[in-house]
């Protein structure tokens, strides 16, 4: 639930229309796009019905607000009146109603824990939960210690007085989840400012603000599994932006000096930008700086820079804002996510990549990794679907790679070619696939990766099943 509109009401025929990851979206009424919602939140209208007051909400009170026109939902201890948001919710009203009058944290996390609901719903905030649910019987509250302010550097009395006000903390829990919230009263706290350690029966979170470090130290009575819910974001600086096709650019972002982040093969991250005052988040798949390192001297060290191939949609919501960024500007980058497992490539003999448009992006690292690290690999074939020749990303690099490495073959298929195009045409089809996907032998280990617009991926999956490829032999990239 509460999946923030990741697309601003694309038209019915747009491939962006259908939710990624198989979630269904419902058609939103005219005037109910993400932009319309942001406008409403900025209009000064009282969206909670409480005239700006924040209240403490008891569980009994929360339960009463369980109707469409009076719907409160608790997420991580904060209660929102989501009734005004109902018609703007891309997942539909029913989806939102599943959490009406209750704690929707688990439901929310199941769908999109990366969604920045705090920003999206800030005008709907009713207040905080007043009563904590019962402690589990083996939770020792008396051992909970807040060590308060520990100056990191030598601090004089004056400095201490001038220092930031002490954070406070609180915690909430459901049957399976304990959430510890630290209120720092500081803007822009990011990953660099928070150090979290969990050892045996102690959980320790240190928050560094200016010259101070604040320690929350909680003693636990039994083992817990860590899940730092909500993704961590760090601000990265745009260092270069290069045209790759008429509408697709290679963005290079620099990670902060204190961050070590290498996005695993096949995973994506979320980029976050404030758009008219609201933090908006969209997923993107990091690539390498070129298809193969030999095509470009790696002048920039890895782990410091992160590259994205991003198509700019003039009528899109997020990408025109990304395109507006100047060198030196910042964009927030989340931790990686994704369900591709690198061991899927182990002992592989034939790797088939079916990519459409920017669905090419996850293939870049997969291709690179497979050719470099999988000795058993005999063939990698990429079938790359685009509208026109001008849309093909890194065409000459792909052709060079095919020329240089006998194991690699590429085939371009165009859905809207000019009359000069003599290559393959059309959309993904059983005929194209059965000709392309020739396995070496009945027993050879094969993997087919698939990524592109949702209808492309869905149709492709069905065709592959009809061609008798097993589930284990297919990986589709989705959010």
> Given the rule CB under 6 A, which residues bind ligand NAD?
15-16, 20, 268, 285, 311, 356-359, 361-362, 385-387, 391, 415, 427-428, 451-453, 455-456, 459, 477-479
Taking the least distance from each CB to ligand FAD, the nearer of 89 and 282 is 282
Work out what residue 234 binds among ligand FAD, ligand NAD, none; the CB cut-off runs from 5 to 8 Å by kind. none
Residue 311 lies near ligand FAD (rule: CB under 6 A):
yes
Q: Which stretch binds ligand FAD (CB under 6 A): 223-231, 237-245, 277-285, 460-468?
A: 277-285
Residue 293 beta carbon to ligand FAD: minimum distance, rounded to whole angstroms: 19
Residue 14 beta carbon to ligand NAD: minimum distance, rounded to whole angstroms: 9
- As beta bridge partners, residue 206 has 195, 215
- CA of 227: how far to CAs of 101, 186, 388, in Å? 25, 23, 44
Q: Hey, which residues between 20 and 49 contact ligand FAD (CB under 6 A)?
A: 20
Q: Hey, which residues between 203 and 232 contact ligand FAD (CB under 6 A)?
A: none
- As beta bridge partners, residue 295 has none
Taking the least distance from each CB to ligand NAD, the nearer of 220 and 382 is 382
Assigned token pair, 93: 């009203």
- CA of 190: how far to CAs of 22, 193, 351, in Å? 31, 6, 39
Taking the least distance from each CB to ligand NAD, the nearer of 41 and 386 is 386
CB count within 10 Å of CB 88 equals 23
Sign of the C-alpha dihedral computed for residues 99, 104, 107 and 112 taken in this order: positive
DSSP state of 430: H
Taking the least distance from each CB to ligand NAD, the nearer of 62 and 413 is 413
Q: 80: part of which helix (H) or strand (E)?
A: strand 78-81
110 Cβ contact list (under 8 Å, min separation 6): none
- Coil, helix or strand at residue 142: helix
Can you spell out the DSSP letters for 330-353? EEEEE--B----GGGGTT-SEEEE
Q: 306: part of which helix (H) or strand (E)?
A: strand 305-311
Q: What is the rounded CA–CA span in Å between residue 443 and residue 431?
A: 23
Taking the least distance from each CB to ligand FAD, the nearer of 61 and 321 is 321
Residue 233, Ramachandran bin (φ over 0: left; ψ between -120 and 50: alpha; else beta): beta
Residue 250 beta carbon to ligand NAD: minimum distance, rounded to whole angstroms: 14
Residue 212 beta carbon to ligand FAD: minimum distance, rounded to whole angstroms: 38
Q: What is the rounded CA–CA span in Å between residue 194 and residue 205?
A: 7
Are 245 and 129 within 8 A, CB to CB?
Answer: no
End-to-end alpha carbon distance in the chain: 15
Q: Which stretch binds ligand FAD (CB under 6 A): 114-122, 147-155, 305-313, 373-381?
A: 305-313
Number of residues that bind ligand FAD (CB under 6 A): 26
Residue 52 beta carbon to ligand NAD: minimum distance, rounded to whole angstroms: 38
Residue 456 beta carbon to ligand FAD: minimum distance, rounded to whole angstroms: 13
Taking the least distance from each CB to ligand NAD, the nearer of 240 and 459 is 459
With tokens 């696939």, the residue in question is 433
Residue 284 beta carbon to ligand FAD: minimum distance, rounded to whole angstroms: 4
- CA of 216: how far to CAs of 135, 137, 173, 194, in Å? 19, 22, 17, 11
Work out what residue 10 binds among ligand FAD, ligand NAD, none; the CB cut-off runs from 5 to 8 Å by kind. ligand FAD
Work out what residue 385 binds among ligand FAD, ligand NAD, none; the CB cut-off runs from 5 to 8 Å by kind. ligand NAD
Q: Which stretch binds ligand FAD (CB under 6 A): 111-119, 180-188, 313-321, 461-469?
A: 313-321
> Which residue of the chain is nearest ligand FAD when measured via CB?
316
Residue 92 lies near ligand FAD (rule: CB under 6 A):
no
Taking the least distance from each CB to ligand NAD, the nearer of 113 and 424 is 424
Taking the least distance from each CB to ligand NAD, the nearer of 139 and 369 is 369
Taking the least distance from each CB to ligand NAD, the nearer of 100 and 271 is 271
Within 78-127, residue ranges assigned H as helices are: 93-97, 105-112, 117-120
Q: Which of 228, 227, 232 is nearest to 191 (CA)?
A: 232
> Which residue of the chain is nearest ligand NAD when measured via CB?
357
Assigned token pair, 249: 């650019």
Taking the least distance from each CB to ligand FAD, the nearer of 36 and 123 is 36
Taking the least distance from each CB to ligand FAD, the nearer of 310 and 392 is 310
Q: What is the rounded CA–CA span in Å between residue 154 and residue 338?
A: 44
Q: What is the rounded CA–CA span in Å between residue 148 and residue 157?
A: 16
Residue 434 beta carbon to ligand NAD: minimum distance, rounded to whole angstroms: 17
Q: Hey, which residues between 346 and 405 contact ligand FAD (CB under 6 A)?
A: 358, 361
Given the rule CB under 6 A, which residues bind ligand FAD? 7-11, 14, 16, 20, 268, 282-285, 308-311, 313, 315-319, 358, 361, 479
């Amino acid at each position: 639930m509460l999946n923030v509109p990741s697309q601003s009401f694309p038209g019915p025929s747009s491939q962006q229309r259908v939710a990624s990851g198989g979630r269904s979206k419902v058609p939103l009424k005219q005037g109910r796009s993400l932009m319309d919602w942001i406008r409403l939140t900025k209009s000064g209208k009282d969206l909670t019905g409480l005239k700006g007051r924040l209240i403490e909400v008891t569980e009994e009170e929360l339960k009463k607000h369980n109707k469409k026109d009076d719907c409160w939902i608790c997420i991580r201890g904060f209660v929102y009146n989501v009734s005004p948001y109902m018609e703007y919710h891309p997942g539909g009203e029913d989806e939102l109603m599943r959490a009406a009058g209750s704690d929707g944290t688990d439901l929310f996390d199941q769908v999109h824990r990366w969604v920045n609901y705090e920003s999206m719903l800030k005008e709907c905030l009713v207040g905080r939960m007043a009563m904590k649910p019962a402690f589990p019987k083996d939770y020792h509250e008396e051992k909970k210690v807040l060590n308060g302010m520990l100056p990191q550097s030598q601090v004089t009395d004056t400095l201490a007085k001038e220092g930031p006000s002490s954070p406070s903390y609180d915690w909430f829990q459901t049957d399976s989840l304990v959430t510890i919230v630290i209120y720092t009263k500081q803007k822009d706290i990011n990953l660099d400012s928070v150090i979290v350690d969990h050892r045996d029966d102690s959980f320790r979170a240190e928050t560094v603000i200016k010259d101070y470090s604040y320690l929350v130290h909680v003693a636990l009575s039994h083992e817990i599994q860590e899940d730092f819910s909500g993704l961590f974001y760090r601000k990265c600086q745009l260092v270069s932006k290069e045209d790759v096709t008429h509408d697709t650019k290679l963005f290079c972002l620099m990670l902060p000096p204190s961050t070590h982040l290498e996005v695993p093969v096949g995973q994506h991250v979320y980029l976050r930008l404030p758009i008219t005052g609201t933090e908006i988040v969209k997923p993107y798949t990091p690539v390498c700086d070129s298809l193969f390192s030999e095509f470009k001297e790696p002048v920039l060290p890895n782990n410091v820079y992160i590259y994205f191939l991003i198509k700019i949609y003039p009528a899109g919501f997020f990408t025109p804002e990304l395109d507006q960024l100047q060198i030196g500007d910042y964009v927030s980058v989340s931790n990686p996510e994704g369900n591709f497992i690198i061991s899927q490539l182990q002992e592989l003999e034939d790797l088939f990549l079916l990519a459409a448009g920017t669905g090419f992006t996850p293939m870049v690292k997969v291709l690179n990794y497979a050719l470099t690290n999988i000795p058993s690999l005999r063939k990698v074939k990429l079938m790359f679907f685009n509208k026109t020749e001008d849309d093909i990303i890194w065409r000459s690099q792909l052709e060079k790679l095919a020329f240089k490495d006998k194991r690699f073959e590429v085939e371009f298929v165009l859905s809207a070619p000019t009359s000069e195009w003599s290559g393959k045409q059309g959309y993904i089809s059983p005929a194209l696939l059965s000709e392309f996907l020739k396995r070496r032998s009945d027993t050879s280990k094969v993997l087919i990766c698939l990524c592109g617009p949702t209808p492309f991926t869905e149709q492709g999956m069905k065709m592959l099943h009809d061609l008798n490829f097993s589930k284990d032999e297919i990986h589709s990239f989705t959010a």
